[in-house]
């Protein structure tokens, strides 16, 4: 019996009408099977193993099932199964073996068949039911594979890891478990510096290590997002071998000193937390490690972290009231121009303090990262900008003088499409000039997202706003890149100032940066100046503007007014 030829161009017509390849060297068997299945499926017939392989080659993408006789002239049915198992595209097509040899059933299943039908074909309804079920299971397995497995690494997706973990918990209620989060810090730099292909190679190496760790520790691994992975395993007493397993494949590609992998672990020996809580706490432990050089190979979630989480939650639970009640207070640190013989007040930097009604003074180095993590930094920044603009206006009305104020602009702000309109709005509302507000953008923000930052920065500069590159020297911008950046001032990273002394390396670095500012034609600002010696060295080196405790700590607006009055006497 000749095979039915399929129209390749009409593939979509077969998306819901399944196609079955029936292979048997007895024409009568082909006719019987065709009569049983006709009307419900499209059928291709083959009378030999050789013919079947040809049909598979030509039309394999259409096949939903293969009904395969074992004992045929020429190529044996086992050889067809072997061929299918070697073909990545065809190995998942279900095969039901047709045989009257009961002894062959087990071997057929071991060779990749999903089921078998005994000859003679005397129970049509059973045959159709088993064929339908085999196709359904294959489709389900295909869907699970495509939605449940990360295409790059082959690890489970987050959704399927949680499903697996939930089932594991249900059947092993007394087994202690560990939720582990693994992250490669600043991974975007790998892609930017070496290309996405190299980055993918690193991710696959991490996946190999996690897969081994999961296998050795009785669990599963998942790629959750970009460079973040989850590991769910039986509770371990020690983790040194697990850490080695995770890092080893990566260290075969990169220098060990360049492998910046952070690992956070939450142990739930007595099942006191939900599945989601376990991984949330492992994330907290992971994020608590330094993003640059982790001081330990892993970090365990502990009571201290738990208390901090509760503290953070309580801080944020009434955040709307905090803004409405003006719990955030602005303080201003004066900046002095030191290019002349006598330092001259020229501007100020605004900083924000939080006076919480229950917890008192909340440190900025605590609540600002907290706001960044919880998507509140934009609201805080806009609050600060608005209040700073109002204060500039008040000083102008009171003293007939304009004191420009520097405000921080985060990476999140720059990606906000209405940033320029908002800034222009607060300038107009207070009858100010754009140049009265100086915008501090960190060097790392410029270099981490250069194209977007540059476009927005140029538009801001065109509007008249002054741009200061903050924390200069902390990032990795090239000298060539600096010549094209829209900046109006370089602000030295405070770390350079702490240890300067006559002729030492730190001082030479400061002198070099000041020379860059001169070359670019922009002033250099030094912050964190605390004593006479630092002031003298910076003035001698040609620094333009200074701020720090040597002149004044950050003060409230009313106290800053006294500084203005003293300056104008």
Q: What is the pLDDT along the chain (569 residues), one digit of tens a residue?
A: 444 333 333 333 334 568 899 999 888 888 888 889 887 888 999 999 899 898 888 877 788 899 999 888 888 888 999 988 888 778 888 999 987 787 888 888 888 899 888 888 778 888 889 898 888 888 777 766 666 888 899 899 998 899 888 888 888 888 899 999 999 988 887 887 788 899 999 999 999 999 999 999 989 999 998 899 999 999 999 999 999 999 999 999 998 888 889 999 999 887 888 999 999 999 999 988 865 555 678 999 988 888 888 888 899 988 999 999 999 999 999 999 999 999 999 999 999 999 999 999 999 988 998 898 888 999 999 999 999 999 999 999 999 999 999 999 988 898 899 999 999 999 999 999 999 999 998 877 776 656 777 889 999 999 999 999 988 876 555 566 677 778 999 998 888 898 899 989 889 989 999 999 999 999 999 999 999 999 999 999 999 999 999 999 999 999 999 999 988 75
H or E element that contains 19:
strand 19-23
Cα 446 to Cα 444: distance, rounded to the nearest angstrom: 5
Beta bridge partners of 349: 333, 406
Comparing CA positions, the residue from 234, 289, 301, 285 lying closest to residue 261 is 289
Which pLDDT does position 7 carry in this prediction? 38
Beta bridge partners of 23: 46, 68
Write out the residue limits of the CATH 3.20.20.450 domain(s) in the chain.
318-564
- CATH number for 8-148 (one of 3.40.50.1260, 3.40.50.2300, 3.40.190.10, 2.60.120.10): it is 3.40.50.2300
Beta bridge partners of 41: 38
Maximum Cα–Cα distance across the chain: 114
Write out the residue limits of the CATH 3.40.50.2300 domain(s) in the chain.
8-148
Residue 70 phi, psi (nearest 5):
-90, -50
Comparing CA positions, the residue from 368, 357, 277, 365 lying closest to residue 318 is 357
Write out the residue limits of the CATH 3.30.70.270 domain(s) in the chain.
158-301
Comparing CA positions, the residue from 420, 419, 391 lying closest to residue 404 is 391
Which pLDDT does position 5 carry in this prediction? 38
Comparing CA positions, the residue from 352, 351, 358 lying closest to residue 315 is 358
Q: What are the strands, taking DSSP E only, across 177-326?
A: 177-184, 219-225, 228-234, 261-268, 299-300
CATH class as words, domain 318-564? alpha beta
Q: Tell me the pLDDT tens digit for each residue of 333-368.
A: 999 999 999 999 999 999 999 999 999 999 998 899
Which pLDDT does position 120 carry in this prediction? 81
Chain Cα centroid distance, residue 155? 16
Contacts of 378 (CB under 8 A, 6+ apart): 410, 412, 413, 416
Which pLDDT does position 569 carry in this prediction? 54
Q: What are the strands, taking DSSP E only, across 200-324?
A: 219-225, 228-234, 261-268, 299-300
Q: Tell me the pLDDT tens digit for each residue of 132-143.
A: 888 888 877 776
Cα 453 to Cα 447: distance, rounded to the nearest angstrom: 8
Comparing CA positions, the residue from 348, 334, 335, 442 lying closest to residue 389 is 348
C-alpha dist (Å) from residue 436 to 210, 368, 463, 521: 53, 25, 12, 20
Cα 157 to Cα 171: distance, rounded to the nearest angstrom: 21
- DSSP label at 14? G
What's the CATH code, domain 158-301? 3.30.70.270
Residue 351 exposed, middle or buried by CB count within 10 Å (0-12, 13-18, 19+):
middle
Kind of pairing between the strands at 328-337 and 344-356? antiparallel
Number of Cβ within a 10 Å radius of residue 437: 24
Kind of pairing between the strands at 405-408 and 344-356? parallel
Contacts of 173 (CB under 8 A, 6+ apart): 271
Q: Tell me the pLDDT tens digit for each residue of 498-533.
A: 889 998 988 998 999 999 999 999 999 999 999 999
> 328 by DSSP, 3-state: which?
strand
Which pLDDT does position 438 carry in this prediction? 97
Chain Cα centroid distance, residue 442? 21
Chain Cα centroid distance, residue 323? 30
Q: What are the strands, taking DSSP E only, across 367-448?
A: 405-408, 437-442
Contacts of 548 (CB under 8 A, 6+ apart): 333, 497, 526, 527, 528, 529, 530, 534
């Amino acid at each position: 019996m000749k095979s039915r030829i399929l129209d390749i161009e009409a593939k979509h017509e077969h998306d819901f009408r399944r196609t079955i390849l029936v292979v048997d060297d007895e024409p009568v068997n082909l006719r019987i099977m065709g009569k049983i299945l006709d009307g419900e499926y499209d059928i291709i017939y083959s009378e030999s193993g050789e013919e079947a392989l040809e049909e598979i080659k030509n039309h394999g993408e259409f096949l939903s099932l293969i009904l395969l006789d074992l004992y045929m002239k020429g190529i044996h049915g086992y050889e067809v199964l072997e061929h299918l198992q070697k073909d990545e595209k065809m190995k998942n097509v279900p095969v039901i073996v047709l045989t009257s040899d009961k002894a062959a059933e087990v071997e057929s299943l071991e060779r990749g068949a999903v089921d078998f039908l005994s000859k003679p074909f005397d129970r049509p309804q059973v045959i159709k039911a088993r064929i339908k079920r085999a196709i359904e299971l294959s489709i389900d397995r295909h869907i699970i594979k495509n939605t449940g497995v990360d295409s790059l690494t082959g690890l489970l997706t987050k959704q399927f890891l949680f499903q697996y973990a939930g089932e594991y918990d249900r059947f092993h209620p007394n087994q202690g478990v560990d939720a582990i989060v693994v992250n490669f810090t600043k991974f975007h730099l790998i892609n930017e510096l070496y290309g996405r292909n190299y980055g993918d190679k690193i991710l696959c190496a991490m996946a190999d290590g996690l897969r081994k760790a999961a296998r050795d520790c009785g669990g599963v691994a998942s790629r959750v997002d970009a460079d973040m992975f989850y590991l769910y395993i039986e509770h371990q007493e020690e983790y040194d071998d697990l850490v080695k397993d995770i890092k080893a494949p990566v260290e075969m590609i990169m220098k060990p000193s360049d492998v910046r992998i952070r690992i956070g672990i939450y142990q739930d020996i007595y099942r006191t937390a939900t599945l989601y809580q376990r991984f949330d706490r492992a994330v907290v432990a992971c994020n608590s490690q330094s993003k640059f050089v982790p001081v330990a190979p892993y970090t365990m979630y502990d009571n201290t972290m738990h208390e901090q989480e509760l503290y953070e939650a309580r801080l944020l639970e009434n955040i709307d009231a905090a803004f409405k009640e003006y719990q955030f207070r602005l303080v201003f640190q004066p900046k002095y121009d030191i290019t002349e013989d006598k330092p001259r007040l020229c501007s100020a930097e605004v900083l924000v303090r939080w006076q919480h009604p229950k917890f008192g003074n909340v440190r900025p180095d605590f609540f600002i990262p907290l706001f960044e993590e919880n998507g509140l930094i934009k609201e805080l920044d806009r609050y600060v900008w608005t209040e700073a603009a109002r204060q500039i206006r008040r000083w102008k009305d009171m003293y007939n003088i304009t004191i420009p104020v520097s405000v921080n602009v985060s990476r999140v702000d720059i990606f906000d499409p209405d940033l320029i309109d908002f800034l222009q709005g607060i300038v107009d509302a207070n009858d100010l000039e754009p140049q009265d507000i100086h915008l501090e953008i960190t060097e790392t923000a410029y270099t981490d997202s250069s194209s977007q930052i540059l476009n927005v920065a140029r538009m801001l500069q065109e509007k008249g706003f002054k741009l200061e590159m903050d924390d200069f020297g902390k990032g990795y911008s090239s000298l060539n890149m600096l010549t094209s950046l829209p900046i109006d001032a370089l602000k030295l990273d405070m770390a350079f100032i702490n240890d300067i002394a006559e002729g030492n390396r730190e001082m030479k670095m400061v002198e070099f940066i000041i020379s860059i500012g001169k070359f670019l034609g922009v002033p250099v600002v030094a912050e964190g100046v605390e004593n006479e010696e630092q002031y003298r060295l910076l003035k001698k080196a040609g620094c333009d503007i200074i701020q720090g405790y040597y002149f004044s700590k950050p003060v409230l607006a009313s106290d800053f007014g006294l500084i203005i009055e003293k300056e104008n006497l």
